[in-house]
Structure 1
Amino acid sequence: MRPSGPLRDLPPARRRWAVVLSVLESGLSGAALLGAYALLPLSAGTSLPELLRLVTAVVLVAAVAARQVRAVPRAGRPVLRAVRALCVSVLFLLVVFAALYVRLSAGDPRAFTQPLTRIDALYFTVSVFATVGFGDLAAVTQPARLMVTVQMLLDLVVLGVVLRVLSGAARMSLVRGRPGHDQEDPPRGRQP
C-alpha cells in the first residue's frame, strides 16, 4: 500500500523520495508510450478512412485523460499523481498524433511538405504542441490540415481544461484529507 497524505507533512528525505518515485513512474510510462510508438506497425494499408482514424484517436486521448483525472482524488499523494497524470496525458496525445501523421504520410506522401518518418512525425507533433512552427514541416493536404487543426484544439484543451481539472482534483483531495473536514465540500454562497 502506498503512503498517503500531503507532501508537506513528510520529512524532507521522504518527500524527496516520493518525488523521485513519481518522476521514475512518469519516466517509465513515457518510455512505454514511446516504445510502443517505435515498435507498433504504422504503415498505410488499412482501408480505415482518415476521419474515422482521427475520431478514434480523439476518443482514445479523451479516455486516457479521463482515466488519469479520476485517479487523482483517490491517490495517496494527489499532487504527485496530478503531475504524473498530466505527463501521461500530454505524452499520449503527442504519440497518438505522431502515429496518425506517420500513417497519413505513408498513405499520401504529399500530405506534408515532405514524407514523414516516425521521428519527423514526433518532431512535427511536438512543434505543433509547443506552438513553435519552425516552418520546415507543414501540412499540405486537407486531411493533414484537419488533423493538425484537431491536434491544436486538443492541445488547448489539454493545457487548459485538463490542467485545471487535475489541479482542482488534487486540491480537493488535499482538503478532504485534512482532519476536521467532511467528505463533502462546504456549501458556497450565503448561509440561510
Structure 2
Amino acid sequence: MLLVPVLVDAGLLVLYLGAPLDNPLSPGGVFVLMAAALLVLVMVLWELRAMMAAPHPRRRALGILISSFPMVILPFAGAYVWLASRDPAHFGRPISHVAGLYFAMTVFTTTGFGDIAPRTEPAQLMVLAQMLADVLYVGLFARLLVAAARRAQAGE
C-alpha cells in the first residue's frame, strides 16, 4: 500500500532533477507547473476521501503524508535554484538542483548548517515563505490527517 506513494515521490524527484530551472519560465511552463500542482492536490484529496473508508486508515494516512511531502519541499527547492540562477548573490554561491533540495530540507528540518544562507531580501522572503509552509504542513496538515485517521478507525 505504501509502494504507490513512494513511487510517486520518486517520480516527482526525477522530474525535479530534470527540470530546466535555470531558464526563465514561459507561460506554457507556468501552466504545466500549475497543472502538476493541481493534479497532486486532487490526488491528495482523493486519497483523503479513500482513507475514510479504508480498512487501515492510519496506514493510508501515512501514505498521504509520504505522497504530499514533495509538495512542500520540491517547489521551494526549485525556487531556490531559479532564484540563484537569476543572481548568485541571492545565496552567495550557485545553487544546483541537489543544493536546492539540500537547502530546502535543511530549512524544513530547522537544521541550518550555514553553508547555504539567503543573502538578499528576495531570498530571505522565500525562506520565510518556506518556514510558514513547513509549519502549516507539519502543524495543520499532519494533524488533520491523524485526526481523520482516528475518526475513520473509530467508525469501524
When the two structures are superposed, what TM-score results if normalisation uses the length of structure 2? Answer: 0.83
Cα distance 1:66–1:84, how it changes in 2: closer, same or farther (>3 A)?
closer
Quote how far apart the aligned CAs of 1:175 are: 1.3
Residue matched to 1:140: 119
- Answer 1 or 2: which has greater helix percent: 2
Number of aligned positions between the proteins: 147
Does residue 166 in structure 1 map to residue 150 in structure 2?
A: no
Aligned mates of 2:4, 2:104 — CA distance in 1 = 23
Which stretch of structure 1 is more off in the superposition, 83-92 or 133-142? 83-92
Any unmatched runs of 5+ in structure 1? 1-20, 178-192
**What 5-or-longer segments of structure 2 have no aligned partner?**
none
Equivalent residues of 1:98, 1:118 under 8 A apart: yes
Contact 1:72 1:166 (8 Å CA) reproduced: no
Query: How far apart are residue 110 of structure 1 and its match?
Result: 1.1
1:46 alignment counterpart:
25
1:7-156 matches, within 5 Å, as 21-22=1-2, 24-46=3-25, 63=41, 67=45, 68-156=47-135
Alpha carbons 1:127, 1:134 under 8 Å: kept: yes
The list of structure 1 runs, each at least 4 consecutive aligned residues, that deviate by more than 6 angstroms after superposition, is none
For 1:65 and 1:167, locate their aligned partners in 2 and report how far apart those are by CA, in whole Å.
18
Change in 2 beyond 3 A, CA 1:151/1:173:
same
Determine helix, strand or coil for the equivalent of 2:88: coil
Letter in 2 for 1:131: T
Given that 1:99 and 1:118 are in contact with CA atoms closer than 8 Å, whether structure 2 keeps it comes out as yes
Percent same amino acid among aligned pairs?
37
Q: CA, structure 1 residues 71+147, in 2 after alignment: closer, same or farther (shift >3 Å)?
A: farther
Offset of residue 107 of structure 1: 1.2
Aligned counterparts of 1:72 and 1:164: Cα–Cα separation in 2: 15
CA contact (8 A) 1:104 1:111 kept: yes
Post-superposition Cα deviations, 1:133-164, rounded to whole Å, max 9, x if no partner, equal 00000011111111110101111111111111
Question: Higher relative CO (CA 8 A, sep ≥ 6), structure 1 or 2?
Answer: 2
Work out the CA distance in 1 between the residues paired with 2:136 and 2:105: 16
TM-score by structure 1 length?
0.68
